[in-house]
Amino acid sequence: MDTLSHLIEIKDIYKSFGDLSVLRGVSLNVSAGEILGIIGASGSGKSTLIRCINGLEATQRGEILIKGQRLNSSREAVNVRKKIGMVFQNFNLFPHYTVLQNITGPCRVVRKLSKKSAEELGESLLEKVRLKDKMAQYPGNLSGGEKQRVAIARVLAMEPEIILFDEPTSALDPELAYEVFDIIKLLAEDGMAMMIVTHQIGFIKNLAHLILFIDNGKIACSGNPDYILNECNHPHLQDFLMRLRENI
Ligand SMILES: Nc1ncnc2c1ncn2[C@@H]1O[C@H](COP(=O)(O)OP(=O)(O)O)[C@@H](O)[C@H]1O
Ligand SMILES: [Mg+2]
């Protein structure tokens, strides 16, 4: 596949914080419609990888191309970066805005939509995440699962070509996590490209085309879910999966 057919192309990136070397030569590609699951122990560098892709952290070596364009501060790169949506563990909603305003605000500022268009879009996206009846509420009155669904609707309003999820359900009780996974499944059916960092293996094994196991800042193993969960015999992966299963 040539470079332009990849939405995201990462070539041998390195990232340290002072003396702490966190990403140590990571390369990967994501194409349109592709879903990557990312697993690995706490502290292995998963969030740092996601943050580098989204331009929230700068890398020290290597290259990140978004639709063939280098991530730097040029105006085109800023525009290309708008194609990447990001869903965090802790929702990051604006508490003093209603649910609908959480979506229409960024639409008006970033996409320069009129009030009417932003509201129409906001309402249709809230319907998609099954929260239209909550649009006048404030985030403080919602459950964690509902907050995360609003956060997803807000990301969709930016019309991203790929969404990066960093442990989107780890702050939620299991039954609320399912609500969020149901929405992520809908996005998968729509063909949205996604990178999903999660410890919820049972969920991504039915969804991801490829799973990457990050170990100490490197991709130690990658493959389809069946290979990663049942066949790969990398000892650190085996230890990681065993610990996860013990916690279930
Ligand atoms: N801004 C930062 N400054 C210093 N150290 C950081 C920073 N962000 C992450 N780290 C460190 O980098 C390592 C990897 O962190 P992270 O990418 O958050 O791991 P994961 O998401 O896999 O749990 C950890 O040791 C963490 O403490
Ligand atoms: Mg993390």
Per-residue confidence (pLDDT) for residue 72, from 0 to 100:
67
Distance 65 CA to ligand 2 centre (A): 22
- Per-residue pLDDT reduced to its tens digit, 203-238: 999 999 999 999 999 999 999 999 999 999 999 999
Domain residues for 124? Answer: 91-159
| Among the listed residues 138, 141, 152, the one whose alpha carbon sits nearest the alpha carbon of residue 96 | 138
- Per-residue pLDDT reduced to its tens digit, 113-135: 999 999 999 999 999 999 999 99
Atom index in ligand 1 nearest the CA of residue 45 equals 17
pLDDT exceeds cutoff 70 at 85: yes
| Domain contains 103 | yes
Copy the structure tokens of residue 193.
């490209």
| Domain contains 18 | no
Per-residue confidence (pLDDT) for residue 71, from 0 to 100:
72
Instruction: Name the β-bridge partners of 70.
Output: 65
Cα–Cα distance, 133 to 156 (Å, whole number): 18
Q: Mean pLDDT, to the nearest integer, of 166-192?
A: 94
Per-residue confidence (pLDDT) for residue 10, from 0 to 100:
96
Per-residue confidence (pLDDT) for residue 73, from 0 to 100:
60
Q: Mean pLDDT, to the nearest integer, of 50-76?
A: 85
| Domain contains 82 | no
The DSSP 8-state label assigned to residue 44 in this structure reads: S
Task: List, edge to edge, every strand of the sheet that includes 61-66.
Answer: 20-31, 6-17, 61-66, 69-70
| Ligand lying closest to the C-alpha of residue 15 | 1
| Domain contains 126 | yes
| Domain contains 56 | no
- Residues near ligand 1 with C-beta < 6 Å? 17, 20, 22, 40, 42-48
Burial of 90 (0-12, 13-18, 19+ CB in 10 A): middle
| Among the listed residues 157, 114, 111, the one whose alpha carbon sits nearest the alpha carbon of residue 135 | 157
Instruction: Name the β-bridge partners of 35.
Output: 194
Per-residue confidence (pLDDT) for residue 209, from 0 to 100:
97
Q: Which residues contact 11 (CB under 8 A, 6 or more apart)?
A: 27, 62, 63, 64, 65
Tallying the residues shown for the chain, one arrives at: 248
pLDDT exceeds cutoff 60 at 248: no
Domains contained in the chain, number: 1
| Ligand lying closest to the C-alpha of residue 49 | 1
